[in-house]
Chains A and B, each alone.
Chain A
Amino acid sequence: MPANTTPCAPLLDVSGATVRFGGIHALTEADFTIAKGSVTALIGPNGAGKTTMLNAITGMVPLAGGAITLDGTDIAGLPPQKRAAAGVVRTFQNLEVFTSMSVLENVMTGRHALTRYSITASLLRTPGFRRAERACRDAAMDCLEFVGLAEAADTPAGDLPYGKQRLLEMARALAAEPKLLLLDEPAAGLNSKETAQLGDLIRAVCDRRNVTVGLVEHDMELVMAVSDHITVLHFGRPLAAGTPDAIQANPDVIKAYLGEDD
């Protein structure tokens, strides 16, 4: 079904989003759309409000104004866990891996909302429970294989090296079968080889798993390589939006980035 939809139909539509911390405007009437089936990047100089935008979309900071719709449904009023159930799942800039659990358990946790059985069923180990747990485990293993971590399934997640923890977060988010996967600086702390692999993986998420991707990232090489569409934020306001080529040629964007080495 997602493959047939026109690429320009917006999956996520943020319009006029305003977020304030005390007196500071972190976002001012910012618009941001992500087309279904695309990889859309959100870029901008430090402090432009990129992570705040992700937090607003996932319900982790309150909106002072504006609207957020996913697939046409208003999600702005929902708490984070309901937005996740509605199909928006994210990763974190500062890793938030469940370090006390195994790699596989981390990913199985990602399927929390999709694994349905009562607590009584889990206590009695009913056939329904066993079936649901097996399905959960299989789906989680599939996600681990997809990101290339299947070998490490039983390793304690805290023991994974940094780069692999990033992959684990991605597998965990994918396990939730999101409509929209939001990645917050997934290349931070990765070396160039790992970054290139990450780029391939992001494209595969979009093309092979049919998951729309929203990407906040500093690494311009990665952004330009994987994105279908780019939105630029500057001081909490949208500055430009367009294809990678158009953005690279946009004089406003060049000006905003001037003096910033990336």
Chain B
Amino acid sequence: MKRPVIGQSVVQAGLFLLLLLAVPAALPNEYYLSICILGSLNAVIAVGLNLLMGYAGQVSLGHAAFYGLGAYATAIATTRFGLPIPVGMAAGVTLAAAVAWIVAAPTLRLKGNYLAMATLGFGIIISIVFNEAVDLTGGPSGYVGIPRLALFGYTFESDRSYYTLMAVVLALVVLVALHLMKSRTGRALRALHVSEKAASSLGIDIAAHKRFVFVLSAALAGLAGVLYAHYLSFIAPASFGFSFSVQLVVMVVLGGMASVWGSVAGAFFLTALPEALREFEDIDILVYGAILVLTIMFLPDGLAGGLKRLGRKLRRVGVDHAG
């Protein structure tokens, strides 16, 4: 059996990129484009968090902290220290990954709700630091004057160009996730999710794998944070608090645990939903809560699972008609 040189995942990610790039043409104005940029940023974090939560089964209620660490690190590096933007970006991703690496060892020994508590506590501590270390972060009122992203002499001035960049980044992140999960590392992560005993009895180093996926997901959150800071040029601690951590978890679960595409869908859905509910004015938060509850009730395996079932049903209908 000869395998094609270009793998299935590459084709999927390529098609996804084309789809993303086609979206702006269908949008009525620039405002929607900015929502799409935020959606892609959130999707990058959600895909990373899903590797940790959906595949490896380790809950994190503190991922907003890594997003914030990335954003603040590049903000401070590029303005206060006047470092070039690529250096700031590298610093942001590295800081998020390094902090995750340090936190991982004691934290990931905890299980279930204790792990949830520890990551939650970590997230809150970091968000308090963002608020209180006023000299460094500007405190609750935020950090201004972050330069717009410029790489290799090209400044991503327009939202259109920034969106194109985000589309490429997101497609690459999706490809990394798909490839990683279809490898020995992915199998090991899914295995330790189900049974740490059995996984370790087969020679899988549980602690090392948990740490790896934690650091990877933190680095992706840091990457999103870096890109967020250089997009908005203004950041404030409120964006990196407990609420956002919870929202990220909701994106993953709503999208469908252990589904890369589900996380993408969940992220875009939850980013766009509040905007779509604007017209409800005062009761928008009620409608938001209701949609959340109802979606989980009627799609227990998330948007991804729902779509999969819909596809199967359609196919069956097609077969019935053909026969």
A96 CB contact (under 8 Å) in B190, B198, B212: B198
- 3 shortest A-B CB distances, which residue pairs? A113-B203, A122-B183, A96-B198
Q: How far is the CA of A169 from the CA of B182 in the complex (A)?
A: 21
Given contacts A81-B203, A90-B201, contact A122 B188 (CB under 8 A): no
A123 CB contact (under 8 Å) in B180, B202, B258: B180
User: Would you give 14 A-B contacts (Cβ < 8 Å), ordered by A?
Assistant: A81-B205, A96-B197, A99-B194, A100-B258, A101-B187, A109-B184, A109-B202, A112-B203, A113-B202, A117-B183, A119-B185, A123-B179, A125-B179, A172-B202
Are A89 and B201 closer than 8 Å at their CB atoms?
yes
Known: A110-B202, A122-B180, A123-B176. 11 other contacts (CB 8 A): A60-B201, A84-B202, A89-B203, A90-B201, A98-B194, A100-B190, A101-B191, A108-B184, A112-B202, A115-B184, A117-B183
Interface residues of B in 190-222 (CB under 8 A from A): 190-191, 193-195, 197-206, 212
Are B198 and A112 closer than 8 Å at their CB atoms?
no
The tally of CB-CB contacts under 8 A between chains A and B is 99
At the interface, yes or no: B3 with Cβ under 8 Å from chain A?
yes
- In the complex, how many angstroms separate the beta carbon of A217 from the nearest chain B beta carbon? 18
Are A112 and B187 closer than 8 Å at their CB atoms?
yes
Q: How far is the CA of A58 from the CA of B197 in the complex (A)?
A: 10
Q: How far is the CA of A99 from the CA of B195 in the complex (A)?
A: 9
Closest A-chain residue to B188, C-beta based? A112
At the interface, yes or no: A29 with Cβ under 8 Å from chain B?
no
Are A84 and B201 closer than 8 Å at their CB atoms?
yes
At the interface, yes or no: B318 with Cβ under 8 Å from chain A?
no
Are A98 and B198 closer than 8 Å at their CB atoms?
yes
- In the complex, how many angstroms separate the beta carbon of B4 from the nearest chain A beta carbon? 11
Q: Which residues of A contact B106 (CB under 8 A)?
A: none
At the interface, yes or no: B153 with Cβ under 8 Å from chain A?
no
B203 CB contact (under 8 Å) in A85, A96, A98, A99: A85
Interface residues of A in 24-67 (CB under 8 A from B): 58, 60
At the interface, yes or no: B289 with Cβ under 8 Å from chain A?
no
At the interface, yes or no: A105 with Cβ under 8 Å from chain B?
yes
Are B187 and A109 closer than 8 Å at their CB atoms?
yes
Q: Which residues of A contact B200 (CB under 8 A)?
A: 60, 79-81, 84
Are A122 and B185 closer than 8 Å at their CB atoms?
yes
Q: Which residues of B contact A75 (CB under 8 A)?
A: none
Interface residues of A in 96-140 (CB under 8 A from B): 96-101, 105, 108-113, 115, 117, 119, 122-123, 125, 129-130, 133, 136
Q: How far is the CA of A122 from the CA of B7 in the complex (A)?
A: 12
Tell me what chain A mostly uses at the interface: helix, strand, loop, or mixed.
Answer: helix
Q: How far is the CA of A52 from the CA of B124 in the complex (A)?
A: 42
Encode B170-184 as 1/0 by CB contact (under 8 A) with A.
000000100110111
Q: Which residues of B contact A99 (CB under 8 A)?
A: 194
- In the complex, how many angstroms separate the beta carbon of A91 from the nearest chain B beta carbon? 9
Q: How far is the CA of A80 from the CA of B206 in the complex (A)?
A: 10
- In the complex, how many angstroms separate the beta carbon of A113 from the nearest chain B beta carbon? 4
Are B187 and A105 closer than 8 Å at their CB atoms?
yes
Q: Which residues of A contact B206 (CB under 8 A)?
A: 81
At the interface, yes or no: A198 with Cβ under 8 Å from chain B?
no
Given contacts A81-B200, A96-B198, A119-B180, contact A125 B7 (CB under 8 A): yes
Q: How far is the CA of A88 from the CA of B294 in the complex (A)?
A: 49
Q: How far is the CA of A172 from the CA of B201 in the complex (A)?
A: 11
- In the complex, how many angstroms separate the beta carbon of B96 from the nearest chain A beta carbon? 18
Encode A169-209 as 1/0 by CB contact (under 8 A) with B.
00011001000000000000000000000000000000000
- In the complex, how many angstroms separate the beta carbon of A136 from the nearest chain B beta carbon? 7
Q: Which residues of A contact B187 (CB under 8 A)?
A: 101, 105, 108-109, 112
Are B183 and A130 closer than 8 Å at their CB atoms?
no
- In the complex, how many angstroms separate the beta carbon of A186 from the nearest chain B beta carbon? 15
Are A98 and B191 closer than 8 Å at their CB atoms?
yes
Q: How far is the CA of A80 from the CA of B170 in the complex (A)?
A: 38
Q: Point out which of B180, B190, B201, B212 has the most chain A C-beta atoms below 10 A from its C-beta.
A: B201
Encode B213-251 as 1/0 by CB contact (under 8 A) with A.
000000000000000000000000000000000000000
- In the complex, how many angstroms separate the beta carbon of B173 from the nearest chain A beta carbon? 11
Closest A-chain residue to B257, C-beta based? A100
